[in-house]
Structure 1
Amino acid sequence: MVDLGALVLGMAGSIDQWPEHGDPLSVRTTAAAQQGGGHLHEPADRSSQEWFCEAVAVPARDRPLKVRAQTWDSYDGPVITLLEVDLGLPWPGDPGGESVHLGDLPIDRCGMLLGDAHALDSFVGLSGESIDGLADVTYWGKYEDDAHACFGGESMSQVDGRRGPYGRLDLPLHEAHELVDQIGDWLSKDPRTGLTVGADAHTHFHLLDRAGKAHPLLAGQIELDGARILRLGWDPGDHSTRHRGERAWDQVYAVTLERAGTTTLLRWTIPAEPDNPE
């Protein structure tokens, strides 16, 4: 007997908003997975609406799954042209069939999530509360070295080892807000412009974003309710030039089930620009 789950590939910026429009994500994905997979969107009874929740759900073996990506070099670094997930299941269709089109997804500027549907029911998104009472404070810009000398912190590493913003991580929420106020007071006493300060509560979204900062594909993982959740970020230059506007501008890309021998793959294809071969 094969234990099945429901795997979701969805837009990170809205993954926690499904209950606002009806059934929880796990209820919707279970129904789609029982039919072999499908495209979830809002409104559910009409065509996909711009800027609303979107995802694709498929049945999958209830175990860790292999995820692969093909890339090409875009404006500021590598971006995904092909995402594949081995679902750990036999090919369900006609032995001669090669693919099943499930739907088309835009690339969310907040990134894309891949994970178990039931685990994602408890995902805390961009505007949620801290899950552990902690937050991270970061600051960067023209006077960052002066601020670092006054307030300390460590340099966050980014892709290719480049130095990121200074920051103090895992602070209790009240300490994080006090530090932001202290930096603000310091700036006002000797007026300076060009320093940006941010305090990010430990939501699941933020922890995934933090985990992927130094990865070439901005890929980060966390554990949520016993399942591994993967977030894929997107190069800002590539998104603003090729994918900006998302569904409103018909910037959507095919998600399919593919036969690989006797097994089944979930595949998302995002073509490279014609003059930039894969």
Structure 2
Amino acid sequence: MSEPFVDLAVVTTPSGVLVLGMAGWIDQWPEHGDPLSVRATAAAEQGGGHLHEPEDGPSQEWFCEAVAVPAAAGRPLKVRAQTWDSYDGQVIALLEVDLGLPWPGDLGGEPVRLGDLPVDRCGMVLGDARALDSFVGLSGESIDGLADVTYWGKYEDDAHARFGGKRTPQYGGQGPYGRLELPLREAHELADRIRSWAPRSGLVVSMDARTHFHLLQRDGEIHPLLAGQIELDGSQVLQLGWEPGDHSMRHRGERAWDQVYAVTLERAGTTTVLRWTIPAETDDPE
């Protein structure tokens, strides 16, 4: 792959354990046994590993998956990517994280395969294992008692004239109209009023509680690679998204259709990096 690397962000791991996992499932781990941090720490103590359900069998389709590795606890970890132009624009083809640790001398020089992960249509989360135990996901409760209401479609200008709001920021243009950071009750009432007014099939209305998942996605909407970041329990957490067209054409079906991609530990000079390789379409095996 000849494309140059693009710097995305830095993440921090106060616990010394880094997790790359499916964003749609990060808050679901406690429902199936030990918290994510417990399982991730155990894997990191072995040098890194693939976390999945069930623990004692092959990865279950449409379920929790993540990779956990040891990482430096006292310094920011640089995250960067190589990209390629897919169906709707640029997407990540190689994700790399500098783990801030020396390459173990007993591993030789060859990459260590930890497992493979699908591209979650809800995005991927990269962050500290212990911090992610408190992650509020897609269907969780608002973390601040607030919610965002957005609407778009054929009659969006008529709705804007009646209900107000502003265009939300979006990379490469303007997003839908919205009224953000409303108290939950007010947000529900506004969304119901817009839905009741809207001509049938002429307007889409979304009421999103301000969860960690929602805040990451909102922040990512202004980034060309849909990379959003928040602070969670004193650590910097990053979420990565893929364009809908790319996911639909190349990643749809995920593990159920064997759309999974290798995660490795690799040597970069004297340091250790985590790499997740999602081949460009021209590089895919036939």
Give the whole-Å Cα distance in 1 for the aligned partners of 2:149 and 2:72: 39
Aligned to 2:51: 40
Pairing 1:6–2:23 present: no
- Work out whether residues 221 and 229 of structure 1, in 8 Å CA contact, stay in contact via their aligned partners in 2: yes
Task: Name the SS of the counterpart of 1:66 in structure 2.
Answer: strand
Structure 1 pair 141/4, CA: closer, same or farther in 2 (3 Å)? closer
- Work out whether residues 20 and 126 of structure 2, in 8 Å CA contact, stay in contact via their aligned partners in 1: yes
Match of 1:66 among 55, 78, 84: 78
Aligned to 2:266: 258
Aligned to 1:221: 229
Q: Which amino acid aligns with 2:91?
A: V
Give the whole-Å Cα distance in 1 for the aligned partners of 2:107 and 2:130: 31
- Work out whether residues 39 and 51 of structure 2, in 8 Å CA contact, stay in contact via their aligned partners in 1: yes
Q: Which amino acid aligns with 2:72?
A: R
Aligned to 1:23: 34
Task: Name the SS of the counterpart of 1:180 in structure 2.
Answer: helix
Q: Which amino acid aligns with 2:167?
A: S
Q: CA deviation at 1:170?
A: 0.3
Aligned to 2:280: 272
Q: Which amino acid aligns with 2:245?
A: G
Give the whole-Å Cα distance in 1 for the aligned partners of 2:70 and 2:218: 29
Q: CA deviation at 1:152?
A: 1.0
What RMSD, in angstroms, separates the aligned Cα atoms of the two structures?
A: 1.4
Pairing 1:76–2:122 present: no
Structure 1 pair 247/95, CA: closer, same or farther in 2 (3 Å)? closer
Q: CA deviation at 1:93?
A: 4.0
Long gaps (5+) in structure 1 = none
Pairing 1:182–2:193 present: yes
Deviates more, 1:177-186 or 1:123-132: 177-186
Give the whole-Å Cα distance in 1 for the aligned partners of 2:129 and 2:107: 28
Pairing 1:53–2:49 present: no
| Residues 177-200 of structure 1: CA deviation (Å, up to 9, x unaligned) | 11112213333xxx4531111100
Pairing 1:126–2:138 present: yes
- What is the TM-score when the length of structure 2 is the normalising length? 0.92
Match of 2:240 among 226, 232, 239: 232
Q: CA deviation at 1:95?
A: 6.4
| Residues 63-84 of structure 1: CA deviation (Å, up to 9, x unaligned) | 3210010000000110111000
Pairing 1:110–2:122 present: yes
Aligned to 2:11: none
Aligned length: 270
- Work out whether residues 4 and 59 of structure 1, in 8 Å CA contact, stay in contact via their aligned partners in 2: no
Long gaps (5+) in structure 2 = 1-13
| Residues 202-232 of structure 1: CA deviation (Å, up to 9, x unaligned) | 1110010000001111000000000111000
Give the share of equivalent positions with the same residue, in percent. 80
Give the whole-Å Cα distance in 2 for the aligned partners of 1:229 and 1:275: 30
Structure 1 pair 41/152, CA: closer, same or farther in 2 (3 Å)? same
Give the whole-Å Cα distance in 2 for the aligned partners of 1:76 and 1:196: 21
Give the whole-Å Cα distance in 1 for the aligned partners of 2:78 and 2:70: 15
Task: Name the SS of the counterpart of 1:17 in structure 2.
Answer: helix
Structure 1 pair 4/40, CA: closer, same or farther in 2 (3 Å)? same
- Work out whether residues 15 and 129 of structure 2, in 8 Å CA contact, stay in contact via their aligned partners in 1: no
Pairing 1:207–2:185 present: no
Structure 1 pair 274/183, CA: closer, same or farther in 2 (3 Å)? same
Q: CA deviation at 1:111?
A: 0.3
Q: Which amino acid aligns with 1:61?
A: A
Pairing 1:144–2:144 present: no
- What is the TM-score when the length of structure 1 is the normalising length? 0.94
Give the whole-Å Cα distance in 2 for the aligned partners of 1:93 and 1:16: 36
